[in-house]
């Protein structure tokens, strides 16, 4: 008897798949489409789109939309007094619907350039009850080279961005998400990495 997949929803259970998901990220041109990117599944269907500065007109603000164009996550990096004095820059992802922002879902800690910190890995904290107060996931490897992973605290790979033997050209790259994990959360993290590295969501 096959073992059932344990779902680990962060944004919502509806975005968790019982099987491995092979996704393609396709960047949109800034000039004609305002930038950002779309996410395509193995059936060649667009399942998410991310709007960035070229569409929203605001730096360090992103919106993740579902296949119907409805907002799912609002992601931003706003510098307050505490953040300016910190060794890290924080991105925050908020659950969103047609009425607006609902609640904080995750926080991503990006080490500031030039800061002498012991560990420069990008750490992600989940706000749902039952997760660690320190960090729950981390990004390892090089996103700019499209060869990195999102790992949980145990070191298990949640998602692989590119990697050896994987497609990675100027406007396309692959992301493989393991069964049970939240696709919207993974794409939200990729959207932040895209903005950090000055790619399609920046303008």
State the CATH class of domain 14-196.
Answer: mainly beta
pLDDT in tens, 127-166: 875 555 689 999 999 999 999 999 999 999 999 999 766 7
Task: Kindly report the pTM of this predicted structure.
Answer: 0.89
Structure tokens at 121: 């890995």
DSSP class per residue in 5-38: PPPB-SS-GGGB-SS-EEEEEEEPPHHHH-S-EE
Residue in the structure block whose two tokens are 């080490």? 111
Distance CA 179, CA 18 (A): 5
pLDDT band at 192 (very low <50, low <70, confident <90, very high): very high
Residue spans of the domains in the chain: they are 14-196
Q: What sign does the dihedral 9-104-137-36 (CA atoms) show?
A: positive
């Amino acid at each position: 008897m096959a073992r059932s997949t344990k779902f680990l929803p962060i944004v919502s259970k509806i975005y968790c798949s019982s099987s491995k998901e092979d996704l393609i990220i396709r960047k949109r041109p800034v000039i004609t489409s305002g930038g950002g990117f779309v996410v395509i599944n193995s059936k060649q269907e667009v399942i998410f789109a991310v709007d960035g500065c070229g569409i929203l007109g605001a730096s360090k603000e992103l919106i993740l939309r579902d296949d119907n164009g409805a907002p799912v996550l609002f992601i931003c990096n706003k510098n307050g007094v505490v953040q300016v004095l910190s060794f890290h820059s924080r991105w925050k992802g908020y659950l969103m619907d047609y009425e607006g922002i609902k609640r904080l879902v995750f926080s991503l800690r990006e080490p500031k350039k030039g800061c002498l910190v012991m560990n420069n890995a990008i750490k992600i904290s989940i706000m749902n009850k039952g997760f660690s107060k320190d960090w729950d996931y981390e990004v390892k490897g090089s996103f700019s080279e499209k060869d990195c992973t999102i790992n949980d605290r145990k070191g298990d790979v949640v998602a692989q961005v590119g990697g050896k033997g994987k497609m990675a050209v100027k406007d396309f790259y692959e992301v493989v998400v393991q069964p049970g994990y939240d696709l919207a959360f993974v794409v939200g993290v990729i959207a932040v990495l895209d903005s950090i590295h000055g790619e399609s969501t920046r303008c």
